[in-house]
Amino acid sequence: MTPESKVCEIHLLREKTPEPGTCENGCTFASRTVYSPVMGKVLIAVGTAFLTAWAVMTTLVPPPFMSGTEFFPLAMHNSWTHLVTFSGGDYLYYMTETVVQDSLPLPQGKSYVVMEEYEPLTITAPEAKSTVAYFYKNGFLHRYPWLDSDGSKVWDTKLGEGAEQILPSPYLGDTTWQMGLQTKAWPLNGGQSIAASAKAWIDPEEVRVPAGVFRHCLRVETTTANQFLDAKQKTRSYTLHYVEWYAPGVGLVRAISDEGEGTPIKSLTELVWYNVQK
């Protein structure tokens, strides 16, 4: 190596050599970045410290409050009775839901069949029954509403497409989601399409219903945009807003529906009795 191309040892300790010229020791050099072994050790130490701190912080961050909690326990013979009020009291029901089957095969997988029986409490309210299925998929509990039953047999009516995403299961923190349904049941001349957006979080307020006082409920707010064709084949639309509270280890304890902020309540549902196996 010639003296002109030699880099002084003193410059090996610098992050970058100065501009081309002559150093204080009399040698010449070209400008270039030179990292010393000391600098390399410093960079490795800093990087290691950063990664260690990040790992510690990630480990110590607590999970969201109520994380991992199930808010709708499904097991054979689980049962809930709600008092349901429609149209300001003109229609009043006791609605009893009971899990009657836990292995109904659906395209989405195994599901739980729930029978819903409406016991009228007013003269204007007719008796009613319905059959639905619940299943878990992609971190959500889904509701499939297109079933029917004769008491001993359950079948798919094919009167609609899609399933409702009821709530995140298990709960892992505040959540938002979108969903869509298509029903052929009403109106008969073409059915209707439903697009919905929902969000869920833990409500800090306690919920008081006839069945008791429930705390740390999962609050689910859903807004649906509904479209259908009327008898004159004109597109009609309306919006509904739902708020539901699910108690940990219990299920639905309260629900209200309306047509938006400032509008009268269309329905009110409150839990009066339940028998749940967790």
pLDDT tens, position by position, 60-106:
445 677 888 899 999 999 999 999 998 777 889 999 999 999 999 88
- Of 7-11, 173-177, 206-210, the least confident: 7-11
The residue assigned the tokens 């609609």 is: 160
The fold of 79-272 is: YmcC-like fold (2.40.360)
Determine what percent of the chain falls in helix, strand and coil, rounding each to the nearest 5: 10, 50, 35
Instruction: Determine the pLDDT at residue 161.
Output: 82
Q: With 80 as the cut, is the pLDDT of residue 229 above it?
A: no
Instruction: Determine the pLDDT at residue 275.
Output: 97
Report the alpha-carbon distance of residue 151 to residue 138 in Å, rounded: 31
Q: With 70 as the cut, is the pLDDT of residue 56 above it?
A: no
Q: Which range has highest mean pLDDT (167-181, 199-213, 226-240)?
A: 199-213
Mean pLDDT on 244-259? 96
Residue 50's pLDDT band (boundaries 50, 70, 90)?
low
250 CB-near residues (< 8 Å, 6+ apart)? 71, 73, 214, 271, 274, 276
Mean pLDDT on 55-63? 48
Residues of the chain with CATH 2.40.360: 79-272
206 CB-near residues (< 8 Å, 6+ apart)? 213, 214, 215, 217
Report the alpha-carbon distance of residue 251 to residue 78 in Å, rounded: 10
pTM, whole model, 2 decimals? 0.74
DSSP category for residue 14: S
Residue 226's pLDDT band (boundaries 50, 70, 90)?
confident
Mean pLDDT on 126-134? 92
Instruction: Determine the pLDDT at residue 158.
Output: 84
Q: What is the secondary structure of 57-115 as a DSSP string?
A: HHHHSPPPTTTT--SS---TT-EEEEEEEEGGGTEEEEEEEEEEEEEEEETTEEEEEEE
